Amino acid sequence: MSVTKSKTGIKKVARETDDVGYAAGDHVVYPTHGVGKIGSIETQEIVGQKLRLLVIQFDKDRMTLRVPVSKAKSSGLRRLCTRKEMQAALVTLKGRSRIKRTMWSRRAQEYEAKINSGDPRSIAEVVRDLYRNAGQPDQSFSERQMYQAALDRLAREFAAVERIPEDIATQRLEAMLKAA
């Protein structure tokens, strides 16, 4: 971050951004890990080559990921979705469940792929399809795990977009599911 002083005496703070427009403090989505925050942009020498790296922290998972700036786009790293995109995901969430009549192992692979895509609408489909109301049959352990993973992933992005705590975001999503 650089600070400059203008003729009027007002300090201007410029955020240090990298070549692809990310800055320290930005929230981003890494497809297989969900929402993280760019802690810093650093240059490291690896095998004799200097690389600019985005250092992304995932506080909930207590994990730090270093992504080369040159590979950010190809790795699927993206900014948070817009409010409009989140609304589209929430509309999907409120829709009717579409469970295919295939074996669970096949559906589980499809659900896992949707969760790891990082697309909020696809994740909302998984949450919607695996949600169980009080009057519906119980889920298997793996179904509950997958539902919880998808719900957590969607809630984190919803919370970051709406700037609310994650637990409130989860409560709102569950309320939408009950109302649907």
Whole-number Å distance between alpha carbons of 141 and 30: 26
Does some domain include residue 105? yes
* Sites in the chain below the pLDDT cut of 50: 1-6, 8-18
Whole-number Å distance between alpha carbons of 148 and 123: 11
Does some domain include residue 45? yes
Residues 73 and 88 in one domain: no
Name the pTM for this structure: 0.81
Residue 59, classed as helix, strand or coil, is: coil
Name the residue range of residue 117's domain: 83-179
Residues 28 and 108 in one domain: no
Q: How many domains does the chain have?
A: 2
Residue 5, classed as helix, strand or coil, is: strand
Retrieve residue 51's tokens.
């690389």
Whole-number Å distance between alpha carbons of 177 and 172: 9
pLDDT at 153: 94
Residues 152 and 113 in one domain: yes
Does some domain include residue 109? yes
Asked whether 118 and 31 are in contact (CB, 8 A), the reply is yes
Residues 143 and 98 in one domain: yes
CATH of the domain at 170: 1.20.58.1290
pLDDT at 132: 80
pLDDT at 122: 95
Residue where a domain terminates, one of 79, 101, 122: 79
CATH of the domain at 71: 2.40.10.170
Residues 75 and 97 in one domain: no
Residues 47 and 134 in one domain: no
Question: What residues have CB less than 8 Å from 160, skipping those under 6 apart?
Answer: 27, 35, 80
pLDDT at 179: 85
Does some domain include residue 1? no
- Among 170, 177, 176, 146, which residue's Cα sits nearest to residue 156? 170
Helix axes 120-130, 166-179, angle to 10 degrees: 60
104-155 pLDDT, tens digit each? 899 999 999 999 999 999 999 999 999 886 556 778 889 999 999 999 999 9
Residues 67 and 111 in one domain: no
pLDDT at 133: 65
Does some domain include residue 6? no
Pairing mode of beta strands 34-46, 2-5: unpaired
